Amino acid sequence: MPLFGGLSGILGQMIPGAAVSRGFHRTLDKEDLGFTDTLLPAGIACKNGEWNTIGEFQIKAQTKIRFGFGKPTEPENQGALYVLLDDETGTEVEGMVRLTYMDYNRYLHDSVYDEKNKNLSGSATNRNSMRLLQETPTKIRADGMAGQDDWLILEFKPVGAKLSGITTVVPAHCSIGIPITQY
C-alpha cells in the first residue's frame, strides 16, 4: 500500500473529516463532447439501427476518469444522467444511448451503459426523474479507469422509421449531462 494512501486511511479513521477525497465530480455537457451548434449546425446524420458517435471527450494528460460518480449503496450521492436528442423539428428521436470507453488508438472498446433515450430525458432539473449513474469502471485499463488520451464516447442508435434510413440529430435542440469522476 502506498505510504500516503495508507496514511490518509489511518487519519480518516482517527480524525473525522480528515480522509482525502477520492475524486472530483463533473458533468460533461454537449460542448465538452464536441456536439455543438457551431461545429455541427446541420446536425449529425445517424444511420438507423446502427451505433453512431454523437460526441466524444478525450482525457487530458495526468488525468484518469470514470463514467458516473457515487457508490451503489448511496443513491443520493450518485450522478444524474440526462440525454435529450432531438431532430431538426425539435422532436425527440427514439432510440438507444450508449456510454463507451475507448483507448487512445480506438482499438479497445468497453461499452458500460445502454438505455432507451426516452428514459434519459424526463427532466433536466428534477433529479428524481433522471437515471442515476454510479461510478462505473472500465476493462480497457487494469486499474479500471480511462487515462491520458483515452476517449469517453456517447453513441446513439436511432430506431426511427424514416424511409431514408437516416435520422438527423441537431445540437441546437439537444441537451446532455453525463456525470464523471475525475482523478
Residue 6 lies in a domain: no
Residue 3 lies in a domain: no
Give domain status of residue 17, yes or no. Answer: no
The pTM (predicted TM-score) of the whole model is 0.84
Could you give the number of structural domains in the chain?
1
16 in any annotated domain? no
Range of the domain at 108: 23-182
Which tens digits make up the pLDDT trace of 34-82? 998 787 877 888 999 999 999 999 999 999 999 999 888 888 889 999 9
Non-local CB neighbours of 97 within 8 Å, separated by 6+ positions:
83, 85, 113, 114, 115, 116, 117, 120, 154, 155, 156
Residues found in the chain: 183
Average pLDDT value over all residues in the chain? 85
Apex 64 CA angle, 78 and 96, nearest 5: 55
158: domain CATH number? 2.60.120.1170
On whether residue 113 sits in a domain, the answer given is yes
**CA angle in degrees (0–180, nearest 5) for 6-12-15:** 130
